[in-house]
Amino acid sequence: MNWGETAADLLVRVRRERPLIHHLTNLVVMNVTANATLAVGAAPVMAHAAEEVAEMARAARAVVLNIGTLDERWVDSMLRAGRAANDAGVPVVLDPVGAGATELRTRTAERLLRELRVAVLRGNAGEIGVLSGVGGRVQGVDSAGAAAGGAALARAAAQRLGVVAAVTGEVDHVSDGRRVAAVRNGHRLLTAVTGTGCMATAVVAAFVAVGSDPLVAAACALAYYGYAAEVAAARAAGPGSFQVSLFDALYGLTPAELAAGVRIDWVEGG
Ligand code: ATP
Ligand code: TZP
Ligand code: MG
Ligand code: MG
């Protein structure tokens, strides 16, 4: 597989088709994930009211469920949006922010995974470690480690939860339970800005909306995002200017530049 060409093709499709992405997300990242979605070339809408989420989910090409600042009403809305998306064949992308840090977060992520068909689960190693049963630790919204490496973790999560699992970190691993891809793009400045995991999830949703293979789409999205971060870091003085430059790089990268910058390889299968 030519990963560079595949990623470039998916980026062209996002920009041409401008898929609507319905986000039910957290208060910290509401603005930056909408802007990341726009910078990629897709169209964001944030909608949380129980009265409208099913209708909005049906109109979208992907739905993002992010439990970062959850409460009872938002969880009810996420279940309604997820059911409507499942019925309409719209892919659901779940970001289980802080699962493992509190019982509410763990229980809620488990419930969403049990009651909905989730296409892609994108989280850090601690979150995926907890949800997969492999073992992990989470402090607040940050990973504090997992009982297995990223490749084994992604594969186990995919097999046990019936999803494509994307475990991010210095290297990202994406698996459907059989194949595992490693994504080696990224920059450590991503760890110095809040919401960069949530933004990664938003970019994954935009690629999954136009792609036919969720594993391939998620890996290409993470490579694109990571490469944009590399470009942004070269122009930045620190976390503040890095965040601004990240939007510029996501927006400005050409398909040819992306094709040349992608660093993905199969660890298993493929
Ligand atoms: P955490 O709260 O533990 O940081 P998160 O939800 O913010 O988790 P990350 O695992 O940090 O998610 O992933 C967000 C993005 O940052 C991904 O694109 C990932 O590849 C990238 N990333 C994370 N850590 C590093 C690192 N040390 N070096 C390069 N890129 C990184
Ligand atoms: N608190 C609740 S949600 C949130 C914080 C700090 C943002 C987490 O974003 P990310 O992308 O997991 O760093
Ligand atoms: Mg992070
Ligand atoms: Mg996160």
* Residues 120, 21: Cα–Cα separation, whole Å: 14
- ipTM for this prediction: 0.98
**How far apart are the CA of 194 and the centre of ligand 3, in A?**
7
Mutate which of 196, 201, 242, 243 for ligand 1? The one with the most ligand atoms within 8 Å of its CB, which is 196
Q: What is the pLDDT of residues 59-83, one digit of tens each?
A: 999 999 999 999 999 999 999 999 9
Indicate whether 270 pLDDT > 90. Answer: no
**How far apart are the CA of 163 and the centre of ligand 1, in A?**
20
Kindly report the average pLDDT of the chain as a whole number.
Answer: 98
In the numeric block, the tokens 């976390």 are attached to 239
What is the per-residue pLDDT for 59? 98
Nearest Cα to 266, choosing from 167, 179, 184? 179
Which spans in the chain are helix H? Answer: 3-17, 30-40, 53-59, 72-88, 103-115, 125-132, 150-161, 196-210, 214-235, 239-252, 255-261
Q: What is the pLDDT of residues 161-192, one digit of tens each?
A: 999 999 999 999 999 999 999 999 999 999 99
Cβ atoms of 157 and 125 within 8 Å: the answer is no
Domains of the chain, earliest start first = 3-259 (3.40.1190.20)
Identify residue 135 by its one-letter amino acid code: G
- The pocket around ligand 2, CB under 6 angstroms, is made up of 26, 28-29, 68-69, 97, 141, 194-198
Q: Report the pLDDT averaged over residues 197-207.
A: 99
Identify residue 153 by its one-letter amino acid code: L
Q: Report the pLDDT averaged over residues 103-129.
A: 98
* Percent composition of the chain: helix, strand, coil (DSSP 3-state, to 5): 55, 20, 25
CA 131 to chain centre: 16
Q: Report the pLDDT averaged over residues 148-172.
A: 98
| Residues pairing with 120 in the sheet | 93, 164
Structure token pair of residue 202:
């938003």
- The pocket around ligand 1, CB under 6 angstroms, is made up of 124, 141-143, 168-170, 172, 186-188, 190-191, 196-197, 200, 222, 225-226
What is the per-residue pLDDT for 19? 99
Quick one: pLDDT band at residue 200, thresholds 50, 70, 90? very high
| Residues pairing with 23 in the sheet | 46, 64
| Residues pairing with 166 in the sheet | 122, 174
